[in-house]
Structure formats: C-alpha cells, structure tokens
Amino acid sequence: MTAYALYLVVSLSLNLEAGFAGVPNFGKVMFVAAGAAVAGSVSGRLAAIILNVNTHGNYNGFIAQIITQLDSSLSTNAVLSIEILLLGILLAAIIGATLGFVTSFPAIRLREDYLGMLLLAAAQLFQIFLGGYEPLIGGTQGIEVPDLFAWAGNGIEIRDVVVLGFLAVFAGVVYFYAERVARSPLGRTLRAIRDNEMAARALGKNDVAMRRNVIIVASAISAMAGALLTFYVGAVNAEAWTRITWTFWIWVMVIIGGAANNAGVALGAFSFTFLFKIVDQVKFYFQGSIPFDVNWLEYLLFASLLIVILAFRPGGILPEKSSVTLPWRTVAEIMRPKSEPPPSLGPRSDVRQLPKAVRTDESSPATPP
C-alpha cells in the first residue's frame, strides 16, 4: 500500500509532464533520487545538531551510533520529528524544483528524441554521482536515516498505519492537484501545446513558460515522494535508484493506465503494484523448478506487457478523454446577445434549433461553434 501511494504520486507527476505537456521524461529516477538523497542526508544531520548529538565531525563514519541516539530522542519528541519530516520534504521539493528548472532548459529547446536521450544520460550520471560521492549519502553503502515516525508507537504496525495515513493524504493531495490541473484551462492549454505547439503559440499561449513550470512542479512532486520513501524505509543508498525501478516502472504504470488521464494513471499504478505483489508471491513456487533466478522473469514480463499494451491498446486501460467543456445550452446562453429575445421566441429558426439538437447528446463533449 505504501508502495502504491508513492508510485501513484510519481506516476501522476510523470503524467503531468509526459501525458499532458508532452515532455518525455526518461530520467524520472533522477528527481526521485535527488529528493531521497537530500532528505536522507540532511534530516539526520539536522536532528543531530538540534539534539546535540556528538557526530565526531564525521557524520557518515559514526552513522550507526548517531542514529541510535537520535532515534531514542526522537521517539519521545513527536513535534520535532514532524518538523524535521516536513522540513526534509520541503527541502526535497526545493531541490527537485531546482533540478527541474535546470532540466527545463534543454527540455523546451530540444525535440522529443534528443531530450529523451539527454535525460536518460543525465539520470545515469546522477546515479553515478550518488554512488560515487560518499559525503552525501555514503555512496553505494548508503546511510541510515533517523526514524521520524518513531513517536507513533513501539509496535511496527502502528508506525506503518501512521506512515500509510501520511502517504495516503499526500497522494490524495497530489491526485486532487493533478485532477484540478487536468480540468482547468491550464490542462487544456498544455494539451493544446502538446498536440500542436505552433497553433498554441499562434493563439498567444506561452508554451515555453508553461512547459518549464510543469517540469518544475512535477520534479518537485517526485522529489517529495523520494523523500517520503527515504523516511519510511529509514535508510537511503544509491543502489536503489535505477533506471528500471523509478523510470521504467513508472512509465509502465502511466502507459498501462492511460496517459493524460489521472484516473487511468491511478488505475495503472494500482494494477502494476498489484501485479508486482502477485508475481512476488507466486514466483517462489517456481524457484526450485527452473534453473535461474525468477526475478529476471519479472523484467521480461513487464517489458512484454508494456509492448503488448502499446501495440493493442495504445491509449491504456482508460484512454485520454476529450476535454470537458461547457454544455451546448450554456454556451448558447452565453453567446446569445443580451438584446435578442430568447431563442425559443425569436424569429430565426436556426438559433431556435440549436439547443434542441444538442439536447440529445448532451453527455458527449462538445466544442463551441
């Protein structure tokens, strides 16, 4: 469930970029990992400074000792824990937004294919950086992160429920936000830019600024998800962030569910997580009977699933819906000049026919004349 909430958040943010704005982000893992790394690295140090824990000038070197001390103090100090938690998330969001801002420079200039290559390469480099630069999160060894949910109780179940509640609220907010964007004029403009950049520009839409803003917001959201994952797991290391886990799986979710449709993406993330769990459960029955590690089959399974979906249902389970616009009748009301009498009384038959003809298919989306 926690995995679902996090996957949902990240896939919604990818949907904002790739589905609505048409920015193919093949480096999603970079933003998630950035949030996780910053949150994991800073929160512990900050807590150590506030709680006066001796770090011997080498935080990563004495990590086990420091974390034990921090955990015992934090478990009785709920207010401080939450403060650090929120601060960590905020910091992750800032870092994510900054990275997104940097990314937006190539993103608004390059064609999709060049951009895809560049982002993929950048994410790869970022992963190397995380693995190689030890002062931040201890490289591939990783570091522990103080347990900011320890106040929730000694039993592991209680903590899990609290974390889950927190994540559910977060995911709910992000979903609500994404849905608001999708239904707003902004969402329609983004789709217009995606489908025909030239036409959107001709209509006076600032496509460059809009794309940039979407990338920044989406990156900030994914960085926050990364930070939350770090706090939930209680550790962070560079090995966990690979192209497969946080770029490819996320794309699978968006494509299965249906790009540019938030409900579809939510369903996609759910089906993916569900399928993943089932495969996890089932695969051990096969472990003895085949001469290789069953985990490899997971890769094959999801890769072929994605290709099959792309081939036979390119829109995903729930394809993108046309924009919801005002019903015909309302448009006709608005369009009718004030001085003119209501269409039913007017002498012009074509105007009178208008609302009547539309009444039959009012549920279907309509565009103004």
Q: Does 121 bind another protein (CB under 8 A)?
A: yes
Q: Does 128 bind another protein (CB under 8 A)?
A: yes
Size of the site for another protein (CB under 8 A): 46
| Contact mark string toward another protein, 23..42, x via CB under 8 A | -x-x----------------
Least gap, CB of 279 to another protein (angstroms): 13
Least gap, CB of 298 to another protein (angstroms): 7
**Sole residue written with tokens 């979906």:** 309
> Measured from the CB atom, is 72 or 140 closer to another protein?
140
**Closest to 122 measured CA to CA, from 54, 30, 188, 48:** 30
C-alpha angle 169-172-176 in degrees, rounded to nearest 5: 140
Taken in order 283, 317, 25, 300, the sign of the CA dihedral is positive
Q: Does 158 bind another protein (CB under 8 A)?
A: no
| Residues linked to residue 143 through DSSP beta bridges, in sequence order | 236
Q: Does 114 bind another protein (CB under 8 A)?
A: yes
Rounded to 10 deg, the angle between the 28-50 and 112-132 helix axes is 30
The correct pick among 49, 58, 61, 132 for binding another protein (CB under 8 A) is: 132
> Measured from the CB atom, is 114 or 274 closer to another protein?
114
Q: Does 255 bind another protein (CB under 8 A)?
A: yes
Which residues lie below 8 Å from residue 163, measured CB to CB, with a gap of 6+?
2, 149, 152, 232
- Applying the rule CB under 8 A, the residues between 226 and 245 that interact with another protein are 243-244
**Closest to 23 measured CA to CA, from 102, 92, 109, 122:** 109
Q: Does 299 bind another protein (CB under 8 A)?
A: yes
Judge contact between 256 and 249, C-beta under 8 A: no
Which residues lie below 8 Å from residue 80, measured CB to CB, with a gap of 6+?
47, 50, 51, 74
The correct pick among 239, 293, 333, 340 for binding another protein (CB under 8 A) is: 293
The correct pick among 1, 203, 282, 303 for binding another protein (CB under 8 A) is: 303
The correct pick among 125, 173, 199, 209 for binding another protein (CB under 8 A) is: 125
Q: Does 287 bind another protein (CB under 8 A)?
A: no
Interacting stretch for another protein, rule CB under 8 A, among 27-35, 119-127, 152-160, 326-334? 119-127
Binding site for another protein (CB under 8 A): 18, 22, 24, 26, 106, 110, 112-114, 116-118, 120-122, 124-125, 128-129, 131-133, 243-244, 247-248, 251-252, 255, 291-293, 295-300, 302-304, 306-307, 310-311, 314
